[in-house]
C-alpha cells in the first residue's frame, strides 16, 4: 500500500514547482581548477543526486569575485566563461525532472585558505611554491576570524557598491545558465554575515551600527540580485539565524533569532521567497584552529527550531538544514510545519540515493517505481523473492 507523505508532496514558489521537499544542501568540493569552471567531476557529482530522487539540486557556493574564494579549488561565477559548463549541468537536471538551484557566495574574512584536508589554515609558502599564492581577504572590519588566519582589509563604501554590482552580474549569469532557484549565502561568518553580526561588525559608517546599518549591505545585494533574477524565479537567502557566541568585550549575545526575524521581513519585502536557516560561524576571538577542528557534537535537527521560529512568526517559507539524517525525521519536519523544504548535506554525500531510500522506507514508493527503471525493476524483484541468511 502506498502511504501519502508531506516530504514527497510538491511545492510551488513563483513559477517553479519543486517535485518534492528535498534539496541537496550547498557543499563546496574544492575541486575546481584555478579558473573556477565546473568540470566533468562536478557534473557526475551532481548528476548522481538527480537519479537519487532529490527534488532540487543546489550547487556548491559559486564565488562572485576571485578575492572572495575560500580556496583555489572554489567554483566561480565572476566571469561569463563560467556560464557554459553550468548550463550543461542545469540542462541535465531539467532533463531528469529536477529543479536546478545555485548558491552565490563571497568568503570575505575566511578567504585565501588551504582546502579542509590540507589543514584549513592560511595559504603559506608551500602552497605558493605550487602556484597557490595567498592574498589579503576583505571583510566588514580588519579583524581575524581565527588567530593565525589572514588579517582581512576593511572594505570601503565604494568597494561595497562594487561588490553589490558583482552579485547582480553573478545572478544574471546563473539565469543565463538556465538555473531555476538562487540562494545568497549570508551565513557562517563569511562576507555578508561579517556585516550582519554585531560581534564582527564594529564599523561606524552607514554599513555598521544598529541592525539597520548592519543589514544594509545584504539588502543592497538582494535588490541588485532581484533586479537581474527574473520575477518568475524564486530567491532564497541562507542566514546564520543565531551566532551562538558572545562578544568577548561586552559579553552580549551576537546575532540572535529576534534579529533574524527582523531581517527575514526586510528580505521578503525585497522579493526573497524563502529563508535558508543555518547558524554559527562568526569570529571566534582568542581561539586558534582547535576551535574549528574540535567542535561540539550536534543534536539531530539542531537548527530546525530556527526555521520553525522564522516560519511561524513571519509566515515566510523556510528551509531547515543541519543533521537531518533520515526520512522519518525529514517527514516530521515538513508534516509538522517546521519548514517548507529540508536540505540534506553530509547524508547526501554518504548516500546519493538518500531521497529514494527515504521514499521506500516511508512507504511512499513500495514498488520502487521512483527509482530509475534499470535499478528499480531489479530491486523490486529481489524484494519479492526475499534474501535469507
Ligand X SMILES: Cc1cc2nc3c(=O)[nH]c(=O)nc-3n(C[C@H](O)[C@H](O)[C@H](O)COP(=O)(O)O)c2cc1C
Tell me which residues touch ligand X (CB under 6 A).
25-28, 60-61, 103, 185, 238, 278, 321-324, 344-347
C-beta closer to ligand X: residue 25 or 362: 25
Min separation Cβ 67 and ligand X, Å: 17
Task: Please give the residue whose beta carbon sits closest to ligand X in the complex.
Answer: 345
Looking at 11, 190, 207, 306, which residue is catalytic? 190
Distance CA 78, CA 334 (A): 35
Residue 206 near residue 157 (C-beta atoms within 8 A): yes
- Give strand pairing partners of 100: 57
Min separation Cβ 40 and ligand X, Å: 19
C-beta closer to ligand X: residue 185 or 360: 185
Helices 354-361, 327-335: crossing angle, 10 deg rounding: 80
Going from the C-alpha of 316 to that of each of 5, 33, 109, 303, 313, the distances in angstroms are 22, 38, 30, 17, 8
Min separation Cβ 125 and ligand X, Å: 27
Residue 90 near residue 42 (C-beta atoms within 8 A): no
Distance CA 35, CA 41 (A): 15
Q: Give the largest CA-CA distance in the chain.
A: 71
Cell of 269: 519585502
Min separation Cβ 25 and ligand X, Å: 3
| Rg, C-alpha atoms of the chain | 21
Min separation Cβ 170 and ligand X, Å: 14
Quick check: is 190 catalytic?
yes
Cell of 325: 539524517
- Who's near 174: CB < 8 A, 6+ residues apart? 62, 77, 86, 102, 104, 182, 229
C-beta closer to ligand X: residue 22 or 324: 324
C-beta closer to ligand X: residue 114 or 368: 114
C-beta closer to ligand X: residue 185 or 245: 185
C-beta closer to ligand X: residue 61 or 356: 61
Distance CA 264, CA 248 (A): 27
Min separation Cβ 127 and ligand X, Å: 20
Q: Which residues are catalytic?
A: 190
Amino acid at each position: 500500500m502506498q502511504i501519502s507523505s508531506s516530504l514527497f508532496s510538491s511545492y510551488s514558489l513563483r513559477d517553479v514547482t519543486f517535485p518534492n521537499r528535498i534539496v541537496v544542501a550547498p557543499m563546496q568540493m574544492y575541486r575546481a581548477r584555478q579558473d573556477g569552471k565546473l568540470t566533468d567531476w562536478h557534473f557526475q557529482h551532481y548528476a548522481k543526486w538527480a537519479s537519487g530522487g532529490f527534488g532540487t539540486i543546489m550547487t556548491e557556493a559559486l564565488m562572485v569575485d576571485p578575492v572572495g574564494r575560500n580556496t583555489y579549488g572554489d567554483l566561480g561565477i565572476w566571469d561569463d566563461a563560467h556560464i557554459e559548463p553550468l548550463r550543461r549541468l542545469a540542462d541535465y537536471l531539467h532533463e531528469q525532472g529536477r529543479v536546478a538551484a545555485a548558491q552565490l557566495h563571497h568568503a570575505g574574512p575566511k578567504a585565501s585558505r588551504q582546502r579542509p584536508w590540507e589543514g584549513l589554515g592560511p595559504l603559506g609558502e608551500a602552497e605558493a611554491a605550487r602556484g597557490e599564492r595567498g592574498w589579503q581577504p576583505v571583510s566588514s572590519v580588519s579583524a581575524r576570524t581565527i588567530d593565525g588566519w589572514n588579517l582581512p582589509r576593511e572594505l570601503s563604501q565604494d568597494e561595497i557598491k562594487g561588490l553589490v554590482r558583482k552579485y547582480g552580474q553573478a545572478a544574471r549569469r546563473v539565469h543565463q545558465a538556465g538555473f531555476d532557484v538562487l540562494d545568497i549565502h549570508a551565513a557562517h561568518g563569511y562576507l555578508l554575515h561579517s556585516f550582519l553580526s554585531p560581534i564582527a561588525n564594529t564599523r561606524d559608517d552607514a554599513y555598521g551600527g544598529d541592525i539597520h546599518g548592519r543589514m544594509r549591505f545584504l539588502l543592497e545585494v538582494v535588490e541588485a540580485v532581484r533586479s537581474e533574477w527574473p520575477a518568475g524565479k524564486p530567491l532564497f537567502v541562507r542566514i546564520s539565524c543565531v551566532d551562538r557566541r558572545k562578544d568577548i568585550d561586552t559579553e552580549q549575545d551576537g546575532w540572535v533569532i529576534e534579529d533574524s526575524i527582523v531581517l527575514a521581513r526586510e528580505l521578503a519585502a525585497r522579493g526573497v521567497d524563502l529563508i535558508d536557516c543555518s547558524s554559527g560561524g562568526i569570529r571566534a576571538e582568542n581561539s586558534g584552529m582547535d576551535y574549528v577542528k574540535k567542535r561540539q557534537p550536534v543534536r539531530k535537527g539542531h537548527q530546525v527550531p530556527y526555521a520553525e521560529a522564522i516560519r511561524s512568526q513571519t509566515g515566510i517559507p523556510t528551509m531547515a538544514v543541519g543533521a537531518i539524517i533520515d526520512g522519518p525525521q525529514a517527514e516530521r519536519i515538513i508534516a509538522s510545519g517546521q519548514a517548507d523544504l529540508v536540505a540534506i548535506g553530509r547524508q547526501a554525500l554518504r548516500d546519493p540515493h538518500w531521497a529514494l531510500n527515504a521514499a521506500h522506507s516511508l512507504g511512499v514508493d513500495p514498488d520502487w517505481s521512483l527509482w530509475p527503471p534499470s535499478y528499480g525493476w531489479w530491486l523490486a524483484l529481489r524484494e519479492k523473492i526475499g534474501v535469507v541468511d
